[in-house]
């Protein structure tokens, strides 16, 4: 096998999540803002000459065949016809079912990394098109910028967000996105926003919060623990809630006061560290 390469797989939060309605195909029309973070998982990849895709290390409890990183590699191989393979090690920090985009980010990192390592030369539009077949959140990680998202979350407009530090707390439960979106209590008729109205301060919320609060007492408890520090939001449909701060000192002070709650601090970034890793690799391995 070739040299082992290491690639970042950043987390995200949803600053809001509006459900506008249900499409004829059963998917929901959404609006959200993806804020990328400076922390997340990492993916180590070695190129295999035998064409095999293997994953010796991944998320606990996730079968290799179900791992989005493996599925991403197989999808890229199918589209490009590459004869090469890969050994993939996914080092997890982002909890499963947390609403932080872990699996989708792993898939995007695998697509971006293998496109470089296999020299398959797809552009980001082509990689994002593969990514959306794996999950609606994959394209934002492929493109690598914080974004205002529409459609099923895949129609992206780049936005520049204020530099904030987030205290992110995750309850010890797994939330099924399917269960949330099929719950009869889910709000599905929120009026659409324009980017201009959002930037002007139009009110926003996470439409999934009422369903999650009703069904997951542990998440509601963590939400309440963060309320003294500012406006608390649920990220996506997962088990994580967050509060934003203008500086790291205030964020650290808040974290110290909830030592019994699993949490971490992360800075919001407008450009994914994955893009820098790709640029660095291409600079060392011009072809």
Let me know if 213 is a catalytic residue: no
Considering the candidates 41, 67, 77, 137, report the single residue annotated as catalytic: 137
Number of structural domains the chain divides into: 1
- The list of the chain residues with pLDDT below 50 reads none
Which residue range(s) make up the domain with 31?
A: 1-287
Apex 133 CA angle, 272 and 104, nearest 5: 35
CATH number at 285 reads 3.30.230.10
**CA gap 110, 90 in Å, rounded:** 10
Considering the candidates 12, 41, 154, 207, report the single residue annotated as catalytic: 12
**CA gap 8, 90 in Å, rounded:** 10
pLDDT of residue 57: 84
**CA gap 112, 135 in Å, rounded:** 15
Strand duo 28-48 + 85-91: pairing: antiparallel
Q: Specify burial of residue 284 (Cβ count, 10 A radius: 0-12, 13-18, 19+).
A: exposed
pTM of the prediction? 0.94
Cβ neighbours of 60 (radius 10 Å):
6
pLDDT of residue 224: 96
pLDDT of residue 287: 57
Let me know if 12 is a catalytic residue: yes
């Amino acid at each position: 096998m070739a040299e082992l390469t290491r690639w970042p797989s950043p987390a995200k939060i949803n600053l809001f999540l509006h459900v506008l309605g249900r499409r004829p195909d059963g998917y929901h029309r959404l609006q959200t803002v993806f804020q990328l973070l400076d922390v997340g998982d990492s993916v180590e990849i070695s190129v295999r000459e035998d064409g095999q895709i293997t994953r010796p290390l991944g998320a606990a409890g996730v079968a290799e065949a179900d791992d989005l990183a493996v599925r991403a590699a197989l999808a890229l191989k199918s589209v490009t016809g590459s004869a090469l393979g890969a050994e993939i090690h996914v080092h997890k920090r982002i909890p499963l079912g947390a609403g932080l985009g872990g699996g989708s980010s792993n898939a995007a990192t695998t697509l971006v990394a293998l496109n470089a390592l296999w020299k398959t030369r797809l552009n980001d539009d082509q990689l994002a098109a593969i990514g959306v077949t794996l999950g609606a959140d994959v394209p934002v990680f492929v493109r690598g910028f914080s974004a205002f998202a529409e459609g099923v979350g895949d129609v992206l407009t780049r936005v520049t967000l204020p530099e904030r530090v987030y205290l992110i707390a995750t309850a010890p439960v797994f939330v099924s996105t399917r269960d949330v979106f099929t719950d009869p209590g889910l709000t599905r008729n929120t009026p659409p926003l324009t980017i201009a109205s959002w930037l002007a301060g139009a009110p926003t919320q996470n439409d999934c919060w009422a369903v999650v609060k009703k069904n997951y007492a542990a998440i509601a408890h963590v939400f309440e623990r963060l309320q003294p520090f500012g406006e608390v939001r649920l990220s996506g449909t997962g088990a994580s809630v967050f509060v934003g701060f203008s500086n790291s000192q205030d964020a650290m002070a808040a974290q110290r006061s909830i030592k019994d709650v699993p949490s971490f601090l992360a800075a919001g970034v407008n450009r994914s560290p994955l893009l820098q890793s790709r640029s660095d690799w291409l600079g060392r391995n011009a072809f």
